[in-house]
C-alpha cells in the first residue's frame, strides 16, 4: 500500500512503476499533471498501447472487464485508463474494481483518474482494494496560505526566483485558480526568462486575471452577478482585448449549457453536471444559470451569438462591445433587450 502526495509522484516514478495508479481529487490541473507523469513514465518503460474508458451514465463495466481479460493485440505492455469524474463508480463498478485489484492483468497498467472522493467513499472496500494493489495519490486543493509556496516551487522549476512580495502578488491576482497561476508563470518565463523577478517586474508583466479574465466574465454572468460581469467586460475592453475572444468564451459556454438544458428534461441536475464533467468549483454558477434560464431562452442566446459574430465581422450593423454587454447581461439574468432572430 502506497499513498503519495502529488509532489512525491515524480520521485516515485523515477525509481519504480506500480501496476495500478489511483489519482483522485477536484483540482483538475494537478490531477491532469499527475496522470501525464504516469503516462510518460509508462511509455518510457514500454507501455505502448492505451485504451481509455470514461464512466458516464449507462457505462458498461463489462468493457473494462473484457479489456483486462484480453491480451494486447501486439503482445506489448499497455495502459488501461479509467476516468471517473463523479468519484462514484456505483455498485457494479465498485465490484469490478475490487476484482481487478485482487488480480491485476499482466503487462498492464491501470490508471484511474477520479473526481473528489466523499468521506464515505474513502472508507469503502473498493477504494481500500485499490490502495492495497498500487499507488494512491490524493490531489488536494492548494489553499490561500499555501499558494505562494506552490507558485515559488513551480517558478523555480523554470529557473525563476521571486521574493515574497512578488509571490503574494501573483497569488492575489489569480485568486486561487491554479490553472491561471500556471499560465501566468509560463507567461513570465516567456517574457522574462530565468532569473530573479521583483514585485515591480511581476506587476508590470502579469495580467490582472483576477479582474479582467474572459473566463471570470463567463462565471460572473452564469452566477447572475451582472454588476461584476459588467466591470470585467469594461476591463477587457479597456485592455484592448479582441471582442472575438470574448464572444468565443461566451458562445462556447452557451452552447454547452444549451445541451445541458435539453438533458435536464429527462435527468436530474446532479446527473447532468456529472455527465458533462462540470468541475466542482464551477457547479454553483453553472447550476444557477440552468435554473435561471430555461428552454427557448438558450436558443435565443445562441441566436444572439450568431448575430454578434456578424457584427464583429462587419456583416451586420452595430457595436461589438455594446452587443457583448447585452449578451453578458442577458446571460446574467438582467434582461436589457428582447432577443430576436
User: pTM, whole model, 2 decimals?
Assistant: 0.59
pLDDT in tens, 246-255: 998 899 899 9
Output the pLDDT for position 207. Answer: 53
340 falls in which pLDDT band (50, 70, 90)? Answer: very low
CATH code matching the domain that covers 214-331, chosen among 1.20.272.10, 1.10.3720.10, 3.40.50.300, 2.30.29.30: 1.20.272.10
Q: How many whole angstroms separate alpha carbon 222 and alpha carbon 250?
A: 10
| Cell numbers describing residue 309 | 459574430
Superfamily of domain 2-139: P-loop containing nucleotide triphosphate hydrolases (3.40.50.300)
**Location of each CATH 1.20.272.10 domain in the chain:** 214-331
CB 160 within 8 A of CB 195: yes
**What is the chain's mean pLDDT, rounded?**
87
CATH of domain 147-210: 1.10.8.60
Mean pLDDT of 21-50: 92
The H-or-E segment that residue 174 falls in is helix 164-174
| Cell numbers describing residue 295 | 428552454
**Location of each CATH 1.10.8.60 domain in the chain:** 147-210
300-315 residues labelled b (16+ CB within 10 A) or e (exposed): bbbebbebbbebbeee
**Location of each CATH 3.40.50.300 domain in the chain:** 2-139
> Phi and psi for 225 in degrees, rounded to 5?
-90, 80
pLDDT in tens, 168-206: 888 877 777 888 888 889 888 888 889 998 888 887 776
Question: Mean pLDDT: which of 77-91, 167-181, 235-249 is highest?
Answer: 77-91
Residue 50 has pLDDT above 50, yes or no: yes
Amino acid at each position: 500500500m502506497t499513498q503519495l502526495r502529488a509532489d512525491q509522484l515524480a520521485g516515485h516514478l523515477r525509481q519504480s512503476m506500480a501496476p495500478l495508479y489511483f489519482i483522485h481529487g477536484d483540482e483538475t490541473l494537478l490531477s491532469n499533471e499527475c496522470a501525464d507523469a504516469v503516462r510518460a513514465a509508462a511509455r518510457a518503460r514500454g507501455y505502448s498501447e492505451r485504451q481509455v474508458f470514461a464512466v458516464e451514465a449507462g457505462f458498461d463495466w463489462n468493457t473494462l472487464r473484457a479489456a483486462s481479460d484480453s491480451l494486447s493485440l501486439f503482445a506489448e505492455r499497455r495502459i488501461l485508463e479509467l476516468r471517473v469524474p463523479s468519484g462514484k463508480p456505483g455498485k457494479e463498478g465498485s465490484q469490478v474494481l475490487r476484482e481487478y485489484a485482487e488480480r491485476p492483468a499482466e503487462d498492464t497498467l491501470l490508471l484511474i483518474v477520479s473526481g473528489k472522493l466523499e468521506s464515505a467513499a474513502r472508507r469503502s472496500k473498493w477504494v481500500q482494494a485499490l490502495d492495497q494493489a498500487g499507488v494512491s495519490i490524493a490531489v488536494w486543493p492548494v489553499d490561500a496560505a499555501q499558494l505562494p509556496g506552490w507558485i515559488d516551487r513551480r517558478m523555480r522549476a523554470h529557473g525563476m526566483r521571486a521574493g515574497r512580495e512578488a509571490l503574494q502578488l501573483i497569488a492575489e491576482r489569480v485568486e486561487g485558480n491554479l490553472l491561471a497561476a500556471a499560465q501566468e508563470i509560463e507567461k513570465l518565463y516567456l517574457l522574462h526568462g530565468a532569473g530573479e523577478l521583483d514585485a515591480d517586474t511581476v506587476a508590470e508583466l502579469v495580467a490582472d486575471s483576477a479582474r479582467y479574465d474572459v473566463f471570470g466574465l463567463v462565471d460572473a454572468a452564469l452566477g447572475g452577478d451582472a454588476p461584476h460581469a459588467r466591470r470585467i467586460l469594461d476591463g477587457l475592453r479597456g485592455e484592448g482585448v479582441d471582442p472575438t475572444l470574448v464572444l468565443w468564451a461566451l458562445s462556447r459556454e452557451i452552447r454547452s449549457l444549451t445541451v445541458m438544458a435539453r438533458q435536464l428534461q429527462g435527468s436530474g441536475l446532479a446527473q447532468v453536471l456529472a455527465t458533462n464533467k462540470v468541475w466542482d468549483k464551477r457547479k454553483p454558477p453553472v447550476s444557477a444559470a440552468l435554473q435561471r434560464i430555461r428552454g427557448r431562452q438558450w436558443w435565443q442566446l445562441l441566436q444572439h451569438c450568431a448575430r454578434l459574430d456578424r457584427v464583429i465581422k462587419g456583416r451586420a450593423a452595430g457595436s461589438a462591445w455594446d452587443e457583448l454587454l447585452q449578451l453578458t447581461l442577458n446571460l446574467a439574468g438582467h434582461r436589457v433587450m428582447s432577443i430576436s432572430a
